[in-house]
Structure formats: structure tokens, C-alpha cells
Amino acid sequence: MEKTILITGGAGFIGSHVVRLMVNKYPGYKIVNLDVLTYAGNLENLKDLESKPNYVFVKADITDEAAVKEVFEQHRPDGVIHLAAESHVDRSISDPLAFIRSNVMGTVNLLNAARALWGDNTEGKRFYHISTDEVYGSLGSTGFFTEETAYDPRSPYSASKASSDHMVRAWHHTYNLPVVISNCSNNYGPNQFPEKLIPLAINNIKHKKAIPIYGKGENVRDWLFVEDHAVAIDLIFHKGVNGDTYNIGGNNEWTNIDLIRKLCEVMDNALDREKGESEKLITYVKDRAGHDKRYAIDSGKLMNELGWKPSLQFGEGIEKTVDWYLENDEWLNNVLSGDYAKYYSQQYGNR
């Protein structure tokens, strides 16, 4: 094998798309997927890769220092693409410590293990940390986050991600670890756990259940199709400048309420329902505590320096996403069993 790449969190939403892209595009790389399989990790996302000779799955917890060290010693990765994290803002509000453990402590364990393995011999080595636009805080109605925007995280989730970004930069400056970081906007697409807005709404519309909109639905997010994020990650991993940060976004801003109206229209079509039927399910609920108003990313650096651009228009991406969820009943039913019902009633009551 030419190289070994360790991908953490590869059984999750974005991670599974990154693993698939890397395994298929680089048959000469050994791809090691390290994931502890929390409620959000699902090996069904990677069924098509199980028999690939260049793919290995390792069940391990990044918060377990000894287990991480063992994986590094056994597989001796040349590169790390680190996606494993607790990722849902609402859960970070009810259980912040889980986020500090996985996102901060887990990242430090990986940084230490990479440093111990590579030592001063870092030629051809790279630690790539996947982060979020939420570290920059919240925008008013104008302006964009650039790579120079000062950090201003405001939820336990975004504070834990900001903290992990700082750790990665500290390991670069203090120990010369070769690192790169990217901060991406909201992803959507197949395999996203239905606690996040788009898959949650698709599932509720399908079952004619209330679609919960926090506050007045005026918060704005910048949506990117997950496969376009995976392509950006591949590009940054191979071509990004050591020590640099790259913002990734869809240049595709929607208020939550307009997004949900658009989704209702697509779902009415897909399910042969009367126009306007799904919109009747929209239900305004209590706002998220500390709800950030607007995120919007300036991806100019990534586009100009590395030539990336999103491949899909939002209309196309959302239709593809709806079709995937409607065609993958078994996947959806499996993830909805287990603890999902308990989470849903804690978060939304009996709606």
C-alpha cells in the first residue's frame, strides 16, 4: 500500500462519505476507519465497502488514550482525517461534558498519538482536523465568516470544537506537527441522523407528524451537499498548505422556515400529496437556548487557491436527499429504533 490513512468518525454522516470517497478513489491507500459507534455511528452506512481489500474498521474510543495509542502503533498511519465528534448542538446543551470529552480530550489523544508515532520525521505526514463554521459565532444580517474571523463560540458544542481547533494549532506551533484545519457550514444529504433539521423534517413529513421549528424560523444556515464537503476534504488533505485553515460553504443561505417550506414542496411532489399539504405540519416550538442567528461562509480561499466549488444546486441536492430517505426505509427504521424515541420525547415532548 502507498499510504495508510486513519479516518476517525467514519461511521457517522460526513465520515461515511469521506471513507467511501477515499476507499474508491485511492485503491493504493489503506483506509482505517476508527469509530466507537455512538448512537450516531452506523456501519450500515458503509455496507458497500465491507469487502474492499483497502478498508479496515476498528472499534475504538478516541477518549481512551491507550486504545488510540494501540491503533497508531498497529496501523502506523501516514495521515489522519479526524471527524469523530459529538456533533448535535441540542445534545450539547443537555450534556456538555460528553462534548468536552470526545471533542477536546479525544482530539488531544489523537494529536499526542500522531506526535509519538511521527516524531521529527514528518515528511509526507498530515493531521487534518475537520471543524465547523460555528466556532466563529453568529452573524447579523450581512457579512461572511472568513479564515481571519475571530473565534466566538457560543454553545457547548461550538466551544468544544473551537477548543479542539486551538489544540490542533498549538500542536502545530509547539511541536511542529503538520496539520491542516477546515471549517464547514451545515451539511445535508444521505445518511444524516434524523436529529438534525433536514432528516428530522423529512421523517416527520413522511409520517404526517409536526415539523418543529425553533422560535420564529428566522435563523439562517448555509447548506452544503455532503458529497461536496467530502470532495473538499480530499482536496485539502492532499493539497492544503501545512498549518493553514480553509473555510468550506455552500454559498446557499436559507432561513429555517423557507428551507422547510421548500422541503415540504419537494416532499408533496415525491409522495404525490396535494400541494401545500405538508406545510400544514409546520409547528413553532420553544427556541433553542442561545440559538445562533446566522452562519454564512466565504469559501473564496478554497475556491481560488485549490479550485474547489460545490457541484450541486440546492434544488437538485434536496431532491436527491428526499429520494434517498424515501428509498431507504430500512436504514431509517433501524436508526429510529433504540434510544431515538427517548431522545425525541425529551427534546420535543409528545409532538
Strands 29-35 and 55-59: parallel
Strands 126-132 and 79-82: parallel
Active-site entry in 29, 55, 128, 157: 157
Q: Which residues pair with 223 in a beta bridge?
A: 186
CB of 311 closer than 8 Å to CB of 169: no
Which of 33, 102, 219, 245 is in the footprint of ligand NAD by CB under 6 A? 102
Strands 253-255 and 220-225: antiparallel
Going from the C-alpha of 284 to that of each of 212, 256, 328, 343, the distances in angstroms are: 6, 11, 28, 19
Q: CA 54, 77, 7, 66 torsion: positive or negative?
A: positive
Q: Is 20 in the site for ligand NAD (CB under 6 A)?
A: no
The SS3 call for residue 26 is coil
Which of 221, 233, 240, 332 is in the footprint of ligand DAU by CB under 6 A? 221
C-alpha cell at 10: 467514519
221 binds, among ligand DAU, ligand NAD, none (CB under 5 to 8 A by kind): ligand DAU
CA-CA distance, 59 to 70, in Å (whole number)?
Answer: 12
Residues 224 to 283: which contact ligand DAU by CB under 6 A? 256
Environment class of residue 330 by beta-carbon count within 10 Å: exposed (0-12), middle (13-18) or buried (19+)? Answer: exposed
**Closer Cβ to ligand DAU, 82 or 125, answer by number:** 82
List the alpha helices (DSSP H) in 87-208.
89-94, 96-99, 106-118, 156-175, 197-206
Helices 65-75 and 106-118 cross at an angle (nearest 10°) of 40
| Contacts (Cβ under 8 Å, ≥6 apart) of 255 | 217, 218, 219, 220
Q: CA 269, 272, 275, 278 torsion: positive or negative?
A: negative
Active-site entry in 86, 134, 165, 253: 134
**Least distance to ligand NAD from the beta carbon of 273, Å?**
28
# of chain residues touching ligand NAD (CB under 6 A): 29
User: Is 133 designated active site?
Assistant: yes
Residues 150 to 209: which contact ligand NAD by CB under 6 A? 161, 184, 186-187, 193
CA-CA distance, 133 to 229, in Å (whole number)?
Answer: 13
13 binds, among ligand NAD, ligand DAU, none (CB under 5 to 8 A by kind): ligand NAD
Q: Is 84 in the site for ligand NAD (CB under 6 A)?
A: yes
C-alpha cell at 1: 500500500
When CB distances to ligand NAD are compared, the closest residue is 12
Interaction pattern, residues 43-82, with ligand NAD; x per rule: CB under 6 A: ------------------xxx-------------------
Which of 6, 36, 100, 181 is in the footprint of ligand NAD by CB under 6 A? 36
37 binds, among ligand NAD, ligand DAU, none (CB under 5 to 8 A by kind): ligand NAD
Active-site entry in 133, 228, 253, 298: 133
Answer left, alpha or beta for residue 137, where phi above 0 means left and psi between -120 and 50 means alpha.
left
15 binds, among ligand DAU, ligand NAD, none (CB under 5 to 8 A by kind): ligand NAD
**Least distance to ligand NAD from the beta carbon of 38, Å?**
4
Q: Is 294 in the site for ligand DAU (CB under 6 A)?
A: no
Q: Is 197 in the site for ligand DAU (CB under 6 A)?
A: yes
Q: Which residues bind ligand NAD (CB under 6 A)?
A: 9, 11-15, 35-38, 40-41, 61-63, 83-87, 102, 106, 130, 132, 161, 184, 186-187, 193
Q: Which residues bind ligand DAU (CB under 6 A)?
A: 87-89, 132-134, 185-186, 196-197, 200, 212-214, 219, 221, 256, 288, 295
- Annotated catalytic residues are 133-134, 157
